[in-house]
Amino acid sequence: MRSIPLSSPDLTQEERDCVLEVLNGSELSLGPRLPAFEQAIADRTGARHAIAVNSGTSALHLCVKAAGIGEGDEIITTPFSFVASANCALFERAVPVFVDIDPDTWNIDVARIEDAITPRTKAILPVHVFGRPCPMDPILRIAARHGLKVIEDSCEAIGATCNGKSAGTLGQSGTFAFYPNKQITTGEGGAIVTDDDEVARLCRSWRNQGRGESGAWLQHERLGYNYRLSEMNCALGLVQLSRMDEILAMRALAASTYTTVLQDLVPDVITPAPAAPGDTISWFVYVVRLPDEFSMAARDSVVHDLRRRGVACNTYFSPIHLQPFYREMFGYKSGDFPITEHIAGRTIALPFFNRLTHQQIEMVCGALASAIRDSYARRMTAA
Q: Do 158 and 260 share a domain, yes or no?
A: no
Integer Cα distance of 24 and 56 in angstroms: 28
Q: End of a domain among 192, 216, 242?
A: 242
Contacts of residue 181, defined as CB under 8 A and 6 or more positions apart, other chains included, come to: 6, 7, 9, 284, 285, 353
Q: Is the pLDDT of residue 383 over 70?
A: no
Residues 192 and 58 occupy one common structural domain: yes
**Span 297-353, pLDDT tens digits:** 999 999 999 999 999 999 999 999 999 999 999 999 999 999 999 999 999 999 999
pLDDT of 1 above 80: no
Domain that holds residue 166: 13-100+107-242
Task: Kindly report, residue by residue over 177-192, the tens digit of the pLDDT.
Answer: 999 999 999 999 999 9
- Do residue 218 and residue 248 come from a single domain? no
Residues 325 and 346 in one domain: yes
pLDDT of residue 380: 78
Domain count, the chain: 2
pLDDT band at 157 (very low <50, low <70, confident <90, very high): very high
What does the alpha-carbon distance between residue 181 and residue 287 come to, in Å, rounded to a whole number? 14
Residue 221 lies in a domain: yes
Put residue 68 in one of left, alpha, beta given phi > 0 → left and psi -120 to 50 → alpha: left
139-152, pLDDT tens digit by residue?
999 999 999 999 99
Whole-prediction pTM:
0.97
| Residue 140 buriedness (CB in 10 A; 0-12 / 13-18 / 19+) | middle
> Domain end: 211, 242, 273, which one?
242
For the chain, counts of helices (H) and of strands (E): 12, 11
Average of per-residue pLDDT across 113-129: 98
pLDDT in tens, 35-74: 999 999 999 999 999 999 999 999 999 999 999 999 999 9
